[in-house]
Amino acid sequence: MSEAAGRKILEFWNGRAELGSVAGTNDFILSKIERDFICESIAPNSRVLDLGCGNATSLLQLAKERNCHGVGVDFSPVMVKESQARVEQAGFAVLKGPDVPAVLIE
């Protein structure tokens, strides 16, 4: 990917971060179906690594419905900032892109 393309993608996701629960898509039905499928597929009390976690809506649903914990990672520093306060109380951490410590991925 070119540097210019990477900047455009980052600008897009940084802009979407301000949209809260609709940051990933405006298709609310599809988004709910996807999150419900993920929740049904993950065993209760699992440790989760969510790559591209966005605003952490899926992580929060996993914490609430399946008692999961773990780490979310996102490319957009604005998405990370928006989601960090939301997920810390639920037992998750959200980190920016390549800043993920190796110990969290082991």
For 3-62, give the secondary structure using H, E and C. HHHHHHHHHHHHHHHHHHHHCCCCCHHHHHHHHHHHHHHCCCCCEEEEECCCCCHHHHHH
Q: What integer is the mean pLDDT of 26-54?
A: 85
What's the pLDDT band for 42 if we cut at 50, 70, 90?
very high
pLDDT: is 50 or 3 the higher one?
A: 50
Q: What is the pLDDT of residue 104?
A: 46
Q: What is the pLDDT of residue 54?
A: 83
